[in-house]
Chain A
């Protein structure tokens, strides 16, 4: 039974509120139908995509488009499109599961995510009914392939500085678009381009531009470091006539489309990355079991076991965080619909509500992926450097994830910026808890040395304290630096990293406890172990980030006091992480794959 008395956690509120396991969703709870959808996606990747990775990377003519159509036939392109527009109206949890399953599909996955995410969603969420009726069925079936054109040669991170211009024709029937877009995924073959341009050079606005429009030219394919099979081209717009009925959303409100779509794009990117991680980690375990040196499988060496365990821990954390967010988005959508909002408003409001979580997930997912594929190469030794082995491609292809959909620097900045804005607007109460922490700093520390008993009780307490550490550092930074904080990006990065440590740790903690409640201690044990290692390490990282931040803006007695507070708030019981990692590795080695 849903407990309606519990108010759903707001975006960013995890930092000032404790959640209980019963309020989160974990992948272990996916129902039979959701499981079938996930398995279908995994089967599609295994049977249709994986055998063709080399051909895809060689950009064999028409191959990615034909695979997209196959995905469309299965319904994979339209899981999130409502039934009335030819889709299957699945919720965010189901889509998370499906996207994770599509994850290990390399260049195809990039094309898929661009099409279903940033390509299709602008029309789905911001289109008029006519636009939806005209384009969604084709996008759902894969007959139409979509691309999203925001970046320009002169404007990447600073997307709103776009120079592409739109001018209304004299007869008022068309907008005439001129400009150049850069690095457009699916650019080489898309039928529909979502293009952002400034009307009269001022009003940033979205347009739906058909691929065969006169004056639209697809530039040559970029030669890339990775995801070589995915099409990335510039798009040139030279007096392209776009019918006025293809204006997307409202004039001058293009940023709402661009940014809201990116929220969901970031969430999706994280889910794709988690899927890629799981596959790469499985490759690592299998190789470590198979490869013998010094008369033993290399998986018997502690140094390798450390890597296998650490891969699993980080994946587990990122995956737990992904489902926590997907479920929050779901709940918000349902809550909005129940109070009379349209489906579209509900989705947009929910995506905006959890923009902080989406930004953090984007960073966590892409950085976990980079860690996992890097150690995958290392576990393969020299063979990791050789194309024939399944380590080089994941390594090359992972790197882009830290760059597109907002670089990780931009997402870190956004994480903190959005949090502070929310506090300022009174959407969440940050100042109250900050004051409480400051009072606690002045008070006598709790010398309660009693050991916390109970499963993960120490971790529970550590996370509650970690939140105080973040609040202390962030609160002091704001008070000290005021508007100047914006220019102290190093400090903002520290705060963002601290927030992510806490978010990840709590997601892992809640999932472990929920598994414990649902399935008992034997099954929950590896999850508990992973949580213990992560929390123990996260507290040390929190301390380091906190020290860097504090030293940057405080001095003298004040600095001393806050450093003491930081020490107090990041204190943990010493944990034998070596032993825990070994036991996690043992389970992976036994399963011969990523097993969580």
Chain B
């Protein structure tokens, strides 16, 4: 089984997010970057588990400049066998999916895993686009994934229950919490990471379809009002007359 895991680079969850150039760009000074948790904790680790159970290989792909190599090596340290980096800024979801698809067409992967979203832009778009470009089936936000005889069984949480479906390989699956348990890279993995192949590929011509107009912050949270637990009617009154939401 040949598996490809797509990883992206995101700011650490505790980062203070600020913008520059008239709120059109994310200010990256002093920001600590990490592998997108959905990619690392769930997609990558599930891929490694599948390989450990049935053999095969796990490759990493990332669209980004050379300065992102540490993110790739972290994924290699966790256990991926090799990595590809498409040497270009990930301009938007379409552009990124296009680059990954161009690579995937050459390599005949059985399974392509992506995180359900990145924790910075939360677009959730790449998996679906990629499946479309590769003309493969797509299952999004899977919390369980099993493989049996070239058949993939995936579980998704839906309103009030679960949906279990079977799809044929090759396919694209996006990973949600519970698909696997986060792994801490070990010393052996860290030491091996620098010797694992990291191939740099040039980007294909492709126009991004979107661009960012402006970032806007959420309004500051207002003051908190406490209501005496003995007087719930006061809450109703405030919601109705002051907040005007009911």
Interface residues of A, Cβ cutoff 8 Å to B: 32-33, 35-37, 40, 43-44, 47, 73-76, 78-79, 88, 590-593
Contact = CB atoms under 8 A, between A and B. Distances in A.
Contacts of A32: 70, 73
Nearest to A41: B184
Interface string B173-185: 0000000001011
Contact of A73 (B182, B186, B193): B186
Given A36-B74, A36-B193, A75 B184 contact: no
B184 A47 contact: yes
A37 B190 contact: yes
Given A36-B185, A37-B187, A88-B187, 19 more contacts: A32-B70, A36-B73, A36-B74, A36-B190, A36-B193, A40-B186, A43-B184, A44-B184, A47-B184, A73-B186, A74-B184, A74-B186, A75-B187, A76-B187, A79-B187, A88-B188, A592-B14, A592-B16, A593-B14
Contacts of A592: 14, 16
A78 B193 CA distance: 18
Interface in B61-75: 70, 73-74
A591 B187 contact: no
B184 to A, nearest CB: 5
Interface size class of B (residues with CB under 8 A): 10 to 19
B16 A40 contact: no
A40 B190 contact: yes
Contacts of A79: 187
B70 A40 contact: no
A463 B182 CA distance: 48
B191 A88 contact: yes
B25 interface: no
A490 to B, nearest CB: 46
Interface secondary structure of A, over-half rule: helix
Nearest to A88: B187
A74 B185 CA distance: 7
Contacts of B191: 33, 88
Interface in B192-218: 193-194
28 contacts: A33-B190, A33-B191, A33-B193, A33-B194, A35-B70, A36-B185, A36-B190, A36-B193, A37-B187, A37-B190, A40-B184, A40-B185, A40-B186, A40-B187, A40-B190, A44-B184, A73-B186, A74-B186, A74-B187, A75-B187, A75-B188, A76-B187, A78-B187, A79-B187, A88-B187, A88-B191, A590-B16, A591-B16
B77 interface: yes
A301 B172 CA distance: 55
Contacts of B14: 592-593
A33 B188 CA distance: 12
Contact of B186 (A47, A75, A591): A75
A33 B77 CA distance: 10
B13 to A, nearest CB: 12
Contacts of A47: 182, 184
B29 to A, nearest CB: 9
Contacts of B190: 33, 36-37, 40
Nearest to B74: A36
Closest 5 CB pairs of A and B: A75-B187, A74-B186, A43-B184, A36-B190, A88-B187
A565 B77 CA distance: 58
Contacts of B188: 75, 88
Contacts of A43: 184
Nearest to A591: B16
A32 B74 CA distance: 10
A184 B73 CA distance: 41
Nearest to A48: B184
